[in-house]
Structure 1
Amino acid sequence: MDIILLQRIEKLGTIGDVVTVKDGYARNYLLPNKKALRANEANKKVFEANRERLEKENAERRTEAETAGEKVAGTEIVLIRASSNSGQLYGSVNVRDIVAGLEEKGHEIDKKQVIMGNPIKTLGMHDVRIDLHPEVSVTIKANVARSDDEAELQAQGVDVMAQMFEEDNVPASFTEERDPNAEPGEIPAEMLEDGVEAETIEGEETSEETTEG
């Protein structure tokens, strides 16, 4: 279907462009949302007669969006969620959560303006795009963590998920409390692998022989 765009549409064109799209996309989205008109002769005449007014109104909305964008751009919202040890959330963070988080920061954003693609399903810092106008987009940060302390670390650039992975892979013997009776520099026996203890003892004997000689 050929249509006349009434505003900029990503990957299609800008206001006044005549483009061809799939019928379903036009009927189900562009036309009912008044983002475009059918490109017939009658509508072309109507558009041309109103082009100046439409372009002026679009410019005014763009300016308002740019002003709002300066305030919301870079905003960080903290979302506390439960997760598995691998960092996978029990559930997900969706558009409603982003809108609610921004509202707590004093930003009124419509859910249609939040562009996520897919819900967030892991801990960490995530970029979320906010389309304030067809020609004005800003990015905010969704800090998804298990606690306020972890959120603060992530905000400082710490990769909490990487730390979780490292902790899960540290041998248990390295995390056990040191034997209080061990001599300074002595390695606990339970941390020695097969062959290491014998090699150490042999080295000690060699040292004694050298001393005697």
Structure 2
Amino acid sequence: MELILKQDIKNLGEKDDVVNVRPGFGRNYLIPKGYATLATESAKKVLAENLKQAAFKQDKIKKDADAIAARLEGVKLSIGAKAGETGKIFGSVNTIQIADALKKEGFDVDRRRITFDVEPKFVGEYTANLNLHKEVKVKVPFEVVAE
């Protein structure tokens, strides 16, 4: 029995895969639970069109991410933080502050896409990793300065 999966199923396939399963498994489990639909000719055509449109959207998103990554080359941020005499920061520098500094520079990056190699705990230079797309990652240097 040929089915189109509506979601990822462990040991069977991923969403939008066309799989062959035993008739009982398809009829009694996958279709009633809403995990799959029958792979008729019309359903296969609809799936092909949906995959084509999704690929086009993903390609556009990747191109936008590449453009932002190219513009981010050479950008260095400066983040102000309260610090003691030894250079230790009171509190912490977080991804929200990095996102705000990038926004001031003209880049709109979601804070959830920003990570650190090393958490900034002292005044000095650090690197922020921006995951703009699953294939496009950029490292942006920033400096933590005492206010």
TM-score tier by shorter-chain length is 0.5 to 0.7
Count of aligned pairs between the two proteins: 116
- Matched residues, percent identical? 19
What aligned pairs does 1:33-48 form with structure 2 within 5 A after superposition? 40-42=35-37
Deviation at 1:121, TM superposition (A): 1.7
SS at match of 1:92: coil
Deviation at 1:104, TM superposition (A): 1.5
Q: 1 or 2 for the larger relative contact order (CA 8 Å, sep ≥6)? A: 2
Q: Does 1:137 align with 2:147?
A: no
Q: Distance in 2 between matches of 1:134 and 1:125?
A: 26
Question: In the alignment, which residue of structure 2 is the partner of 1:127?
Answer: 127
Structural RMSD (CA)? 3.0
Residues 92 and 123 of structure 1: CA distance in aligned 2, closer, same or farther (over 3 Å): same
Deviation at 1:91, TM superposition (A): 1.0
Higher helix residue share: 1
The two structures have a TM-score, normalised by structure 1, of 0.46
The two structures have a TM-score, normalised by structure 2, of 0.64
Structure 1 gaps, min length 5? 7-15, 17-38, 148-213
SS at match of 1:67: helix
What aligned pairs does 1:124-203 form with structure 2 within 5 A after superposition? 124-146=124-146
Q: Does 1:75 align with 2:75?
A: yes
Higher strand residue share: 2
Is the CA contact 1:95–1:119 (under 8 Å) kept in the aligned structure 2? no
Deviation at 1:87, TM superposition (A): 2.2
Q: Which runs of 4+ in 1 moved over 4 A?
A: 43-49
Q: Report Cα offsets for 1:29-84 as digits up to 9, x if no partner.
A: xxxxxxxxxx9433996755522221221111101110111112342111122222
Q: Distance in 1 between matches of 2:78 and 2:122?
A: 14
